[in-house]
Structures are given as C-alpha cells and as structure tokens.
C-alpha cells in the first residue's frame, strides 16, 4: 500500500500557552500529508483537468500524547480503505523526542464532479 512520510518541525506558532502543539496544527499537518499523497497518486491539478475534485467528508483525530516545542514530529499517511466512490486515508504522527505515536487520524473523502458537485467513481489511480 502506498505511504507518504514527512517530518514536521514544531514551531512557536504551533503551540499553545503551555508549549504543547495545538490540535489545529495536526489538522493542518493532515492537509500537508494529504496534499503530498495526492501529488504521488493523482494531483489536484490533474483532477481539476479531468473535471473532478477531491472532497473531505470526515476527519477523525485521536490525541494520544502531548507533543511539545521544540520537538520534531514524523507524520505518515496511507490509503486504508476503498469503496466504489469513497476513500479513507489513515495517518499517524510520532514524536521524535519520545518515539511514541502522539496522534492517530483518519480522513474520509470522495471525488466530485466540478460541474454537478455530485460524487463520481474513484479515479483509476486510487483503485
């Protein structure tokens, strides 16, 4: 199964007053991983050229352990499930300081027609 990885350096703007990475930061990092996954599977630009676009329908995040400044976080994402029109990506973020998985997440989505905004079958790159 295809997997993408990326290291994220915790920046001062990623943390709250206690020095812990804020929840919204992990949502942003999920976007970064999903974009990287798309670039290696079917880029958003190519999808637009075909008249379709990816759309998220659900994001689930389990926060398992705090990550603090100035840690580095290893993010990884992979295709976890497929349906006729639906895909599920799973992700984990691990603290390089502790080695522990700090966050697990899943994102569910589909592709929609740019003209109708209705779901379309999964592109061949996802099957």
13-32 pLDDT, tens digit each: 999 999 999 999 999 999 99
Specify which residues 75 forms β-bridges with: 6, 93
CA–CA dist 118, 95 (Å, integer)? 39
What is the percent of the chain where pLDDT is above 90?
Answer: 97
52 SS3 class: strand
Answer CATH for 3-126 from 3.10.129.10, 3.40.50.150, 3.40.50.300, 3.40.630.30:
3.10.129.10
Task: Enumerate the domain spans of the chain.
Answer: 3-126
The CA–CA distances, whole Å, from 1 to 31, 33, 37, 77, 79 equal: 20, 15, 12, 10, 7
Is the pTM value of this prediction over 0.85?
Answer: yes
25-84 pLDDT, tens digit each: 999 999 999 999 999 999 999 999 999 999 999 999 999 999 999 999 999 999 999 999
CB-neighbour burial class of residue 127 (10 A; exposed 0-12, middle 13-18, buried 19+):
exposed
Whether the per-residue pLDDT at 127 is higher than 90: the answer is no
Check: CB of residue 22 under 8 Å from CB of residue 10. Answer: no
98 SS3 class: coil
Count the helices and strands in the chain (H runs, E runs).
2, 6
Whether the per-residue pLDDT at 1 is higher than 70: the answer is no
């Amino acid at each position: 199964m295809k997997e993408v990885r990326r290291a994220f350096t915790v920046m001062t703007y990623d943390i709250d007053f206690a020095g812990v990475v804020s929840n919204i930061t992990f949502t942003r990092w999920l976007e970064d991983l999903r974009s990287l996954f798309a670039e290696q599977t079917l880029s958003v630009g190519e999808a637009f050229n075909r008249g379709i676009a990816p759309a998220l329908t659900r994001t689930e995040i389990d926060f398992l352990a705090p990550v603090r400044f100035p840690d580095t976080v290893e993010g990884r994402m992979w295709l976890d499930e497929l349906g006729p029109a639906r895909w599920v990506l799973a992700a984990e973020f691990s603290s390089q300081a502790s080695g522990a998985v700090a966050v697990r997440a899943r994102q569910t989505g589909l592709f929609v027609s740019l003209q109708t905004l209705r779901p379309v079958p999964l592109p061949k790159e996802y099957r």
